[in-house]
């Protein structure tokens, strides 16, 4: 067992996952598995988490996959959410009967922090005087209070479909300006008014590294997260959510890829698709990396840190999430990928 784990983790980073460290990790994993059984808990992990977290995860995915999965937790009493705060809140919104734990409260999101509920309320009021028909779409990377102010939520994998399906001609898109621009390009028949937030991780990635890789490795497939800047997105073979990138890499005939997003996804790709090679044009998200195995063990031992929500906020935010599922029949824009891949 230790040998298999060493091999697996060393594929990601041989310098970090030395034998001594992996032996310690394995002992921690065993303790966490036991605690999960005792607490009747499931563990959901976002694709950007540390590789060792995936070893105890019952499900790993992107924001859309995780919210669908959280709603489907029936037998377990506890959901341990290894991701960031807004994702754990979303789990609580869709499955309020469960105890939802976030193992480290430092796991916030600077993008979500750019849109506070009072500021969003003011902006909606202001815009509705000019566009009475205004629709409000919130990217899932927002607090529950901000979701509660919106008509529909979306994730990176269905933003285009959600905005297209809304009946409104004018749409305020909160909080990511890069994703808003991506949506506006694909839904030219509507006027998208963007909030001016951005993700500090994706905003740091610039085109030069992509141009250099394209020159060095002809035929490399460039997969870019839509939170990236426009000059980066323009260089993509495909703009995809994190799970969309994994599906693309699995289905593509290509063997070399450049994953342009948070670095955890490159780790995840190396584990999920070991027969292919993934180059990196990535930056680390300090919020996503806040959660460690130590935190997960402590979280299950002490039942911390529990996510609680005001019931009125939860209900209104839940309506916006449900509206997203209704508008898209829970499907992803990413489902269009096989056609793109088949074009190769």
CA dist 80 and 296 (Å) reads 8
Q: Which residues between 138 and 177 bind ligand 13P (CB under 6 A)?
A: 141, 155-156
Least distance (Å) between residue 286 CB and ligand 13P: 12
Count of residues near ligand SF4 by CB under 6 A: 12
Using the contact rule CB under 6 A, the part of the chain among 88-96, 167-175, 198-206, 237-245 near ligand SF4 is 198-206
Decide if residue 290 touches ligand SF4 (CB under 6 A).
Answer: no
Q: For the segment 108-167, give every residue that binds ligand SF4 (CB under 6 A).
A: 109-111, 141
From residue 271 to residue 310, the character string flagging contacts with ligand 13P as x (rule: CB under 6 A) and all else as - is ----------------------------------------
DSSP β-bridge partners for residue 138: 153, 174
Q: Interface mask (CB under 6 A) for ligand 13P, residues 218-247, using x and -?
A: ---------x-------------xx-----
Site for ligand 13P contains 63 (CB under 6 A): yes
Give the separation between CA 269 and CA 213, rounded to whole angstroms: 18
Binding of ligand 13P at residue 328 (CB under 6 A)? no
Q: How far is the CB of 302 from ligand 13P (least distance, A)?
A: 27
Burial group, residue 83, by CB count within 10 angstroms (0-12, 13-18, 19+): buried
Beta strand spans in 10-146 (E): 41-46, 59-61, 78-82, 99-101, 135-139
| Residue 330 · residue 157 · CB < 8 Å | no
Is there binding between residue 90 and ligand 13P (CB under 6 A)?
no
Provide the strand spans (E) within the chain.
41-46, 59-61, 78-82, 99-101, 135-139, 152-154, 170-174, 191-194, 221-224, 238-239, 256-260, 277-280
Cβ count within 10 A of residue 2: 12
- Residues of this chain that interact with ligand 13P (CB under 6 A) are 47, 62-63, 141, 155-156, 199, 227, 241-242, 262
């Amino acid at each position: 067992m230790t040998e298999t784990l060493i091999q697996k983790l060393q594929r990601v980073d041989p310098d970090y996952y030395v034998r001594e460290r992996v032996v310690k990790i394995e002992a921690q994993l065993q303790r966490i598995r036991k605690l999960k059984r005792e607490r009747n808990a499931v563990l959901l992990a976002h694709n950007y988490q540390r590789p060792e977290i995936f070893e105890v995860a019952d499900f790993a995915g992107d924001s859309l996959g995780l919210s669908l999965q959280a709603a489907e937790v029936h037998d377990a009493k506890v959901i341990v959410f290894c991701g960031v705060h807004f994702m754990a809140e979303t789990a609580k919104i869709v499955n309020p009967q469960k105890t939802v734990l976030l193992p480290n409260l430092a796991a916030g999101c600077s993008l979500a922090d750019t849109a506070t509920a009072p500021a969003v309320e003011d902006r909606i009021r202001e815009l509705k005087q000019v566009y009475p028909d205004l629709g409000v779409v919130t990217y899932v990377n927002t607090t529950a209070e901000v979701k509660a102010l919106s008509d529909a939520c979306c994730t990176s994998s269905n933003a285009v479909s959600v905005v297209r399906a809304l009946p409104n001609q004018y749409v305020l898109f909160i909080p990511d300006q890069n994703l808003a621009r991506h949506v506006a390009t694909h839904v030219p028949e509507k006027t998208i008014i963007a909030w001016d937030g951005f993700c500090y991780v994706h905003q740091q990635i610039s085109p030069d590294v992509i141009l250099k890789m394209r020159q060095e490795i002809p035929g490399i497939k460039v997969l870019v997260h839509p939170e990236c800047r426009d000059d980066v997105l323009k260089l993509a073979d495909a703009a995809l959510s994190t799970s969309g990138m994994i599906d693309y890499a699995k289905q593509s005939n290509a063997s070399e890829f450049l994953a342009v997003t948070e670095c955890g996804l490159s780790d995840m790709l190396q584990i999920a698709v070991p027969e292919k090679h993934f180059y990196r044009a990535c930056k680390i998200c300090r919020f996503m990396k806040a959660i460690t195995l130590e935190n997960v063990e402590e979280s299950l031992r002490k039942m911390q840190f529990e996510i609680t929500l005001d019931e009125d906020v939860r209900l209104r935010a839940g309506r916006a999430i449900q509206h997203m599922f209704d508008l898209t029949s829970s499907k992803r824009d990413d489902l269009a990928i096989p056609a793109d891949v088949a074009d190769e």
